[in-house]
Copies of this chain bind each other. A is one copy, B any other.
């Protein structure tokens, strides 16, 4: 780890500093590098996909509905073209946020656990600083 300026900060903050204190802190910080999970990419795609208004609303509707909804029902609920809805649902499915089931000419979608937990996390932390 590059530690030019960081060491200055640590020496300053750890006041009566011995080399060991600084080294210990640097060790702590190095350990933090491991706190980013291997599935970072999957996490980012889930967040990114949910962060679009259309897809967010589709996810909300699917999470709120009792069971599955089909594309034409969903298209009624969001205010974009059918093609945009299809693109959006495809992105959601690709990120593991919804399931897709084919039944004759209809295609049914439903929210996954991952979607429900993410939306739940947002709902649980409203109006905090």
Contact = CB atoms under 8 A, between A and B. Distances in A.
A5 interface: yes
Binding site of A, secondary structure by majority: helix, strand, loop or mixed?
Answer: helix
A44 B36 contact: no
Interface in A22-68: 29, 32-33, 35-37, 39-40, 43-44, 46-48, 50-53, 56-57, 60-61, 63-65
B56 A40 contact: yes
A77 B118 contact: no
A101 interface: no
Interface of A: 1-3, 5-6, 9, 13, 29, 32-33, 35-37, 39-40, 43-44, 46-48, 50-53, 56-57, 60-61, 63-65, 70, 72-73, 76-77, 96, 99, 106, 112-114, 117-118, 120-126, 128-129
